[in-house]
């Protein structure tokens, strides 16, 4: 049976990918070391292999036991701040893990991979909205590791004919309320879950990291994309590669930007809670505005995000309010 291998499938975005593949009746196996993922997030009976991508014997076993047709690789560390203080942890896990995955694919004759990249590959943007051809100059090791992997993918395509799609995510948020999965990072650093944890009373306020940016209300603007829209793009990317599509890099964002204050206001409306907010100093390394051009993904992959900000926040709210302690209950 043709099978898709989802590496990092117990993580936030990976688990939503697994749920979608299952919904579409696509046989799926998951590899995850459970360092940041949750076994409870792997739904639909997908087989979970627990191990590290850098362990060649572990990957060899997965590729031997299954007829892997394509790989979707989400497995990575993704905390920007931590990547600055411990870059070797990020190069070691992210770059070496992908290298090991590509080696296993080469050895087993698997020719298609969809890779989770990031808007952090751009660094401080040249212009808005950001296009895939814009300068890539990451300002932190997390973005640098993802850009290094994009380079590795390009050369592996040329040398071994491994076709790839690298997807540069903007700000993923939301949840899958039907599957009972959502965002559960420890520690949590992302705006929307922190705002909703404040609404739940788990924090006494949300900090707004700077209100002196050159934006309309002074707070940073980001492009928020529903995790469901995001994983649907991965499926389209796989289908595109199956049809013989050329390897490439694509932005995944809504094309719309919202400020930190707009996010908090929308969350107040959705939850009906007060959500106290306090202006705090800027967070180092935050660009003022990040908005995706999603034209390439629309034209080439046929991808069109369907879910707006209110749905992102209301789905996230349904998850956080029903799982106040994440997967622990």
Please give the positions annotated as active site.
Answer: 142
- CA gap 242, 224 in Å, rounded: 29
Cβ 154 to ligand UDP shortest distance, Å: 24
Task: List the interface residues with ligand UDP, window 278-307 (CB under 6 A).
Answer: 283, 286
Give the residue at shortest CB distance from ligand UDP: 220
Neighbours of 159 (CB within 10 A): 9
Q: How far separated are the first and last CA of the chain, in Å rounded? A: 35
Choosing from 149, 156, 191, 237, the residue that interacts with ligand UDP (CB under 6 A) is 191
Q: Between 166 and 292, name the residue whose CB sits nearer to ligand UDP.
A: 292
> Quick one: which of 2, 56, 151, 189 contacts ligand UDP (CB under 6 A)?
189
Q: How far is the CB of 144 from ligand UDP (least distance, A)?
A: 15
Segments of 177-265 assigned E as strands: 206-209, 221-222, 224-226, 248-252, 258-259
Q: How far is the CB of 22 from ligand UDP (least distance, A)?
A: 28
How far is residue 146's CA from residue 168's CA, in Å, rounded to a whole number? 9
Instruction: Verify binding: residue 58, ligand UDP, rule CB under 6 A.
Output: no
Q: Does 220 bind ligand UDP (CB under 6 A)?
A: yes
190 binds ligand UDP (CB under 6 A): yes
CB within 8 A of 222, min separation 6: which ones? 170, 171, 191, 257, 258, 290, 291
Q: Is 194 in the site for ligand UDP (CB under 6 A)?
A: yes
Query: Which residue, among 42, 315, 11, 38, has the nearest Cα to 175 in the 3D structure?
Result: 315
Total binding residues toward ligand UDP, as defined by CB under 6 A? 14
DSSP state of 128: S
Is 146 a residue that touches ligand UDP (CB under 6 A)? no
Q: How far is it, in rounded angstroms, from Cα 168 to Cα 185? A: 20
Return residues touching ligand UDP (CB under 6 A): 171, 189-191, 194, 206-209, 220, 222, 260, 283, 286
């Amino acid at each position: 049976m043709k099978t898709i291998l989802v590496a990092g499938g117990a993580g936030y975005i990976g688990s939503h990918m697994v749920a979608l593949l299952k919904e579409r009746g696509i046989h799926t196996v998951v590899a995850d070391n459970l360092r940041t993922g949750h076994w409870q997030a792997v739904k639909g009976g997908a087989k979970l292999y627990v191990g590290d991508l850098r362990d060649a014997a572990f990957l060899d076993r997965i590729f031997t036991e299954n007829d892997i047709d394509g790989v979707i690789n989400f497995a990575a560390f993704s905390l920007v701040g931590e990547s600055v203080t411990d870059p070797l942890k990020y190069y070691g896990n992210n770059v070496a893990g992908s290298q090991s995955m590509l080696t296993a694919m080469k050895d087993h004759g698997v020719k298609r991979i969809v890779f989770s990249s990031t808007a952090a590959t751009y660094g401080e943007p040249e212009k808005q909205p950001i296009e895939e051809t814009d300068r890539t100059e990451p300002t932190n090791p997390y973005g640098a590791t993802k850009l290094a992997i994009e380079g590795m993918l390009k050369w592996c395509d040329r040398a071994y004919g491994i076709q790839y799609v690298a997807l540069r995510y903007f700000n993923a948020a939301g949840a899958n309320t039907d599957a009972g999965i959502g965002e559960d990072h420890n520690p949590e650093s992302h705006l929307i879950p922190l705002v909703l944890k404040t609404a739940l009373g788990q924090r006494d306020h949300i900090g707004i990291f700077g209100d002196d940016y050159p934006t309309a209300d002074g707070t940073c603007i980001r492009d928020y994309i529903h995790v469901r829209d995001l994983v649907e793009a991965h499926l389209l990317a796989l289908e595109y590669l199956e049809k013989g599509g050329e390897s490439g890099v694509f932005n995944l964002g809504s094309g719309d930007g919202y400020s930190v204050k707009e996010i908090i206001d929308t969350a107040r409306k959705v939850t009906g809670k007060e959500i106290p907010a306090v202006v705090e100093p800027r967070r180092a390394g935050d660009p003022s505005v990040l908005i995706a051009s999603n034209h390439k993904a629309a034209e080439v992959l046929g991808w069109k995000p369907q879910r707006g900000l209110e749905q992102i926040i209301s789905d996230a709210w349904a998850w956080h309010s029903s799982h106040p302690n994440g997967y622990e209950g």
